[in-house]
A and B are shown apart, each in its own frame.
Chain A
Amino acid sequence: MDEIDRLLLTLIQREFPLSERPYAEIAEKAGVAESEAIARIEAMREEGLIRRMGASLNPRALGYVSTLAAARVAPGRVDSVTNYINRFNEITHNYERDDEFNVWFTVIARDEAAVAAIIDDIRKHSGADEVIDLPATHIFKIKVNFDLTK
């Protein structure tokens, strides 16, 4: 990855234009031809650096409800609890973390009742010792793009 790649990658993460020729606009900012920008970005995608090109939707604006939950799971049970939790399509992220509460997952569903039902199910049936529900009371920042040019 050279400097132009880093700049292109930063630009297409930050604000990919909603216009007929978005790569022409990106290319102009990076000082290269449209065809070169396309070739470089396609190469970065083939390499796996770029996972997807598309939109990130705001679930809340579309009426969805989400939460973060933390589970306390006995060390020997993490895998079986994970298998139980991960079966739900509504669970999009799940991480094992280095803490007494060691399994952290996000739930996103069409309404509050659906979220509550999943948390309740996991509480009762997954084998976790304890599950705490931590729905956001404030959202201060969500940034998913990184400046790679620094």
Chain B
Amino acid sequence: MEFAEKEIRLLRALQEDLPVRERPYADLAARAGMSEAEALEIARRWKEAGIIRRMGAFIRHRKAGVIANGMVVWDVPEERVEEAGRAMSARDCVSHCYARPRSDKWPFRLYTMIHGATEDEVREQARLLSEELRVENFRILFSLRELKKSDTKLFMEEDR
């Protein structure tokens, strides 16, 4: 996908922090070297096209009281991947759901991030899903330590 120079400047600016004031996009547009109206028009187009996945606030979950989460991996038979993936995605407590390749070292096929107020709540949600979807072999991997978490920055100078 090809972008004009000013569009790349806008992509970069969108990944920075917008000021909290009446017209935040005016600052964004100034950084990208275009008018506010133009920046908004391009951004709306990108939102429509799915290039902008979401616009808005990124919060620190722990501070906001969304405390526990676990990565729950499921050994789902091949013919049930689609159905189970969709059923798990329908749950509020599931924030992410992906399928990934199975291997002889790692039999799991579906990956979910399950959130709750406590780790016990996460365990309980996983147990309920396991029962309802009849997937017996699953594992909950709680994180012991965050070793790295950085915002994904695309189209930055260094990787062009």
Contact = CB atoms under 8 A, between A and B. Distances in A.
B80 interface: no
A18 B44 contact: yes
A141 to B, nearest CB: 4
Given A99-B141, A136-B99, A18 B11 contact: no
A14 to B, nearest CB: 7
* Majority SS at the chain B contact face: mixed
A132 B103 contact: yes
A38 B22 contact: yes
Given A38-B20, A140-B99, A146 B61 contact: yes
B144 interface: yes
B24 A53 contact: yes
A114 to B, nearest CB: 9
Interface in A57-83: 57-59, 61-64, 68, 70, 82
* Majority SS at the chain A contact face: mixed
A54 B58 contact: yes
Report which residue of B14, B20, B63, B139 has the largest number of chain A beta carbons within 10 angstroms of its beta carbon: B20
A54 B103 contact: no
Given A18-B40, A138-B98, A144-B54, A57 B147 contact: no
Contacts of A58: 50-53
Interface residues of A, number: 78
A137 B106 contact: no
B64 A56 contact: no
Nearest to A39: B20
B144 A96 contact: yes
B137 interface: no
B38 interface: no
A143 B67 CA distance: 16
A56 B53 contact: yes
Given A54-B58, A58-B52, A99-B139, A23 B22 contact: yes
Contacts of B25: 18, 20, 22
27 contacts: A16-B55, A22-B24, A23-B22, A24-B22, A47-B63, A50-B59, A51-B59, A52-B151, A54-B18, A55-B14, A57-B154, A59-B154, A62-B11, A62-B154, A86-B147, A86-B148, A98-B142, A98-B144, A103-B147, A105-B147, A138-B99, A139-B97, A139-B98, A140-B88, A140-B98, A144-B95, A145-B56
Interface of B: 1, 11, 14-25, 36, 40, 43-44, 47, 49-61, 63-66, 71, 81-82, 85-86, 88-89, 92, 94-101, 103, 105-106, 111, 115, 139, 141-152, 154-155, 158-159
Given A50-B60, A52-B58, A138-B85, 5 more contacts: A57-B52, A58-B51, A62-B51, A62-B154, A148-B66
